[in-house]
Amino acid sequence: MSTRTGTQTAFVFGGGQGIGRATARKLAASGVRIGIADLNAAAAREAADEIGSGFDVETAHAGVDITNIDDTRAAVAHLEGALGPVTIVVNSAAIVSNKLFVESEPEDWRRMIDVCLFGPLNILHVVLPGMRQRQFGRIICMASDAARTGQSRMSYYAAAKAGVIGLVKSVAQEVGRDQITVNVVSPGATNTELRKAREEETRRNIGEEKYAERQKRVLRQYPMGRLGEPEDAAAAIAFLAGPDASWITGQAISVNGGFSML
Ligand SMILES: NC(=O)c1ccc[n+]([C@@H]2O[C@H](COP(=O)([O-])OP(=O)(O)OC[C@H]3O[C@@H](n4cnc5c(N)ncnc54)[C@H](O)[C@@H]3O)[C@@H](O)[C@H]2O)c1
């Protein structure tokens, strides 16, 4: 079994808030050392400080722009300098779209692909050589059910996230023999800052009354009768990062209250 004993070291990209931060807390609760990397360097520091004081684990933080491979390499080097070789990598960093495709511009697509597809490409390319050398790794990337079912006003976000699923499945085939698993967690609508910002924009655009109706319609799409909380996705990510998931690789697992059943 490709399990590894001893303390694990997880780097959470986009761990400054939302699902990433909840995941970092969840992993820290089981004794994992935590490195937080985020474009928002202040949020990365705050998350690392909060987790370091709340749990008995070592933490470190780094500002990073995952669209840039040199920056990503520097952040990994900095975190490994502080915490040792990484064994678990979670990429939760993303931006979101809220435009009809015909109203979007190539610049919108480019930024999206940069963060949501080039970001994971950069991260995987930076961390995999070390993991292969050490013959162990757990990598979890985030997609979205928008990529699996399609979603209006999210076309280029969905396209980037579908790319992540293809990337993960293919890389998983290449590195399985190195005892590295690579999986995707695909959340449905989850109450995080990312979603709140998009919802606020929609509320402004369509007005209070229509927004309330829309909320009811959205909830009806969720058999479990509620939207997700960051801890819902974090639990699945922590499972995939843990010793009980050593024979799970190349999978896209939806955590979505039944929104889609794929
Ligand atoms: N919240 C949802 O409803 C939802 C639904 C489906 C999928 N997801 C996916 O789950 C993941 C986490 O989402 P969330 O809601 O927690 O997001 P969030 O916006 O709350 O957090 C994302 C973090 O990524 C960071 N980030 C953005 N661009 C970056 C960059 N270039 N380099 C480094 N860091 C960067 C942000 O600063 C932020 O801290 C994302 O991949 C998202 O696409 C979320």
Ligand 1 mean position, distance from CA 207 (Å): 26
In this structure, are residues 148 and 163 in contact, taking their beta carbons and an 8 Å threshold? Answer: no
157 classed as catalytic = yes
pLDDT of residue 182: 99
Q: Which of 69, 140, 192 to mutate to test the pocket of ligand 1 (most atoms within 8 A of CB)?
A: 192
CATH number of 9-189+229-255: 3.40.50.720
Q: Which of 156, 157, 211, 222 is catalytic?
A: 157
Would you say the pTM of this structure is higher than 0.75?
A: yes
Residue 170 has what pLDDT? 98
Residue 197's pLDDT is: 85
- Spatial separation of the C-alpha atoms in residues 112 and 128, rounded to whole Å: 23
pLDDT for 195 equals: 87
Note whether 97 and 108 are within 8 A (CB).
Answer: yes
* pLDDT score of 196: 87
Residue ranges, the chain, pLDDT below 50? 1-2
By most ligand atoms within 8 Å of CB, the mutation choice from 13, 19, 260 for ligand 1 is 19
Ligand 1 centre to CA of 1 (Å) is 32
Give residue 262's pLDDT: 87
- Lookup result for tokens 């698993």: 181
In the β-sheet with 88-91, what is the strand arrangement from edge to edge?
Answer: 59-63, 33-38, 9-13, 88-91, 137-142, 180-187, 252-255
Give the model confidence (pLDDT) of 6-54 as tens digits: 789 999 999 999 999 999 999 999 999 999 999 999 999 999 999 999 9
Hey, where are the domains in the chain? 9-189+229-255
